[in-house]
Chain A
Amino acid sequence: MKTKTPSRLEKILSAGHMAVTSECGPPRGSDPEAIVKKAEMIKDHVDAINITDNQTSVTRMCSLAACIRLKLMGLDPVLQMVTRDRNRIALQSDILGAASFDITNILCLSGDHQSFGDCAQGQNVHDLDSMQLVQTVRHMRDQGKFLGGDDIKRAPQMFVGAAANPFADPFEIRVPRLAKKIKAGAEFIQTQCIYNLDKFEEWMKLARDRGLHEQVYILAGMTPMKSAGMAKYMKNRVPGMDVPDTLVKRLADTPKEKQAEEGLKICIEDIQRLKEVEGVSGFHVMAIEWEEKVPEIVEKAGLYPRPQV
């Protein structure tokens, strides 16, 4: 299948392979080694690596600089960009900056509210929302123009992604919302962490009923639980997360020293089950501060070795 961008992730997906992406959170400091080390751990087991953009609104090294580090290592980064911190001038400018390093993937997000982070007293911007950012990147790429209408010399060549949360409320708009993101121009979707597989499969079915799985590549978001405590925290404290009681119980019933192992086992089982779901094009494995486990998850889930394209 013909691809629209030089993105390796796009090539893998369009060739019909199950894609695997993962993510690295930049450090809270300027030491580049932190990001390089995380990337080294996972680079042979994934097709592209997302770099988060001040996730949970905690100030960190910028996503763009960290993406450049990965690019210099010969890897394929996914630039996460939130609309919380930048207006349309800064967004377009950072997109061009990324494109100047031939960063070819972008994930457009609105970002957690700043009240969760270390600058709760700060302003938020939200000049555009995440869908409008998708539209903006597509406009810049496909029309070769700025939002203001002027021509861009050497337009950015980016494969454009968006997030989807199959679990956030109201559930009835979750699929229409996916359709809307596709309409805005999203080419791949990375979902929120999936723990409630039944509900995710229901969402996928509704998406398939509308043929949406043929219009966008859906990568299922997977985050292994490290402990029963983490499962409870995710269930009760993280916005938009759906963690079934059975999962919390399974971990709680496991001896403490074996809970991490059990968490990995659950994650691998879940991937194996979701591999069979029509319309799932790959997995986005977010092992939060547990990057060293990504290779094991990918291997045991039968997703290794990664295809060469």
Chain B
Amino acid sequence: MIVADKKPMEEIIEDIKNHDKVLVLGCNECVTVCEAGGKKEVGILASALRMYFLNQGKEMKIDEETLERQCDHEYLEEIRNIIDQYDAVVSIACGVGVQFMAEKYHSTPVYPGVNTCFMGATEERGLWTERCQGCGQCILSRTGGICPVSRCAKRVMNGPCGGSSKGMCEINKELVCAWQLIVERLKALDRFDEYEELSPIKDWSTDRAGGPRKVVREDVQP
């Protein structure tokens, strides 16, 4: 899923302080799972903002809504009949939702209420870690199912680098070395001999480097 983290309240206040009617808009998908932008967080953020502006003596209407998804036309349409009541929206969906919202409601200011961080997994409640950078050319079959692009700080294709120490990465003693994991996994799969195969120079044109990407599937298009 896409993992996001809450933005500091001060940043959101700075964005909306000159507006009078604000909608805090959540999303029921990834950001709900990572507890940054679901219905619960909409309630908490809206209450905190109301409290703040009340203390400042500023009259401010702050309403709450949470959509099934903000990255989908269908669900974003659900607020078409109420959007004119607001002069700004704080979207606490991921960056995709914020942008889709801005595209759809062209004359309404939309501010992000979370920092979108990465594609990752829930290791335990309150701990999410990165697993994928969407490079567009998956190499997991060669690396024992562990991704050096997203999990190695230098995205080394033929690792580990010289900074791996006791299984940990040179940049942080609490960060496990991805190549240590790859080596252990190749051994567990009885494929350690593959370690000596050189990983070819990667084609990054399917990555961010190639510019904004799209997937076109004519077979499923209407």
Q: Verify that A and B bind, or say they do not.
A: yes
| A residues neighboring B (CB under 8 Å) | 83-84, 88, 110-113, 115-116, 124, 126-132, 135-136, 147, 163-165, 168-170, 172-173, 176, 179-180, 183-184, 192, 239-240
- Please indicate the chain A residues that have their CB under 8 angstroms from the CB of B171 in the complex: 113, 115-116
Task: List B residues 156-204 near A (Cβ within 8 Å).
Answer: 156-167, 170-171, 177, 180, 183-184, 195-196, 198-199, 201, 204
Q: Is B21 an interface residue (CB 8 A)?
A: no
Cβ–Cβ contact B155 & A126, under 8 A? yes
Cβ–Cβ contact A124 & B160, under 8 A? no
- Please indicate the chain B residues that have their CB under 8 angstroms from the CB of A192 in the complex: 162
Give the contact-size bracket for chain B: 20 to 34
Cβ–Cβ contact A129 & B170, under 8 A? no
Instruction: Report how far A72 CA is from B166 CA in the complex, Å.
Output: 44
Instruction: Report how far A169 CA is from B201 CA in the complex, Å.
Output: 24
Cβ–Cβ contact A126 & B154, under 8 A? yes
Cβ–Cβ contact A129 & B162, under 8 A? no
A-B contact pairs, 10 of them (CB 8 A): A115-B153, A132-B157, A132-B199, A135-B201, A168-B165, A169-B164, A169-B165, A170-B183, A192-B162, A240-B170
With A147-B201, A183-B198 known as contacts, the answer to whether A110 contacts B165 (CB < 8 A) is no
- Please indicate the chain B residues that have their CB under 8 angstroms from the CB of A169 in the complex: 160, 164-167, 177, 180
Cβ–Cβ contact B196 & A176, under 8 A? yes
Cβ–Cβ contact B154 & A129, under 8 A? yes
- Please indicate the chain A residues that have their CB under 8 angstroms from the CB of B183 in the complex: 170, 172-173
Cβ–Cβ contact A126 & B156, under 8 A? yes
Cβ–Cβ contact A113 & B170, under 8 A? yes
Cβ–Cβ contact A110 & B156, under 8 A? yes
Closest to A133 in B: B201
With A169-B180, A170-B167, A240-B165 known as contacts, the answer to whether A113 contacts B198 (CB < 8 A) is no
Cβ–Cβ contact B180 & A129, under 8 A? no
Report which of B154, B166, B180, B199 forms a contact with A110, defined as CB distance below 8 A.
Answer: B154
Report which of B156, B159, B163, B195 forms a contact with A112, defined as CB distance below 8 A.
Answer: B163
Cβ–Cβ contact A127 & B158, under 8 A? no
Cβ–Cβ contact A129 & B160, under 8 A? no
With both chains docked as a complex, state the minimum distance between the C-beta of A221 and any C-beta of chain B, in angstroms.
Answer: 11
Cβ–Cβ contact A173 & B154, under 8 A? no
Cβ–Cβ contact B157 & A240, under 8 A? no
Closest to A128 in B: B201
Cβ–Cβ contact A240 & B196, under 8 A? no
- Please indicate the chain A residues that have their CB under 8 angstroms from the CB of B199 in the complex: 132
- Please indicate the chain B residues that have their CB under 8 angstroms from the CB of A164 in the complex: 162
